Amino acid sequence: MESTRHKPTRAIFRCGLTLLGLTCLLGTADARPKPSEQFPGPWLEVTQEIRDVLDLNKVSACSQVMGRQSSRNPGEYLLYCTRDEKLWTSWRVQLAAQKIRGPGRLFEGIALSDGY
C-alpha cells in the first residue's frame, strides 16, 4: 500500500508536468507566422514548374492562378486559383517535393491581386 506521505508530492509533480505541457503548447502556437508574413508578396506569375506540379496532382481548379513565394522557404508558394473569377481557392505548393495542399479558403490579410 502506498504511503500517504507520497501522495501530495505525486500530485504536485503531476500539476507541474501539466503546466509545463501547456506552456510548451502555447509557445509553439505563438511561434507560427501569419500567412501574410510567410507569403509577403508581391503576387507573381506562376511558372511552368508550378503548373507542372498542379497537373501532376490533377488540380483542375487553377485555370487562372497567381502566386506568392514563401519568405521562409523559397521552394514553397501560396497560390490563389479560380476557374470562373468568382470562386477562388488557396493552395500551397512545395516544388522540391512536388506536393500540394488545398483547396482552402483565401487568407485574411492576403487580398487578391489588383489584376483580378
Nearest alpha carbon to residue 52 among 99, 89, 113: 99
What spatial distance separates the first Cα and last Cα of the chain, rounded to whole Å?
73
Whether the Cβ atoms of residue 87 and residue 94 lie closer than 8 Å to each other: no
DSSP H helices in 32-112: 35-38, 48-56
52: its cell numbers? 507542372
Computed over every residue of the chain, the mean pLDDT equals: 85
Contacts of 10 (CB under 8 A, 6+ apart): none
pLDDT, average across residues 88-111: 96
Quick one: pLDDT band at residue 56, thresholds 50, 70, 90? very high
User: Using DSSP, how many helices (H) and how many strands (E) does the chain show?
Assistant: 3, 4
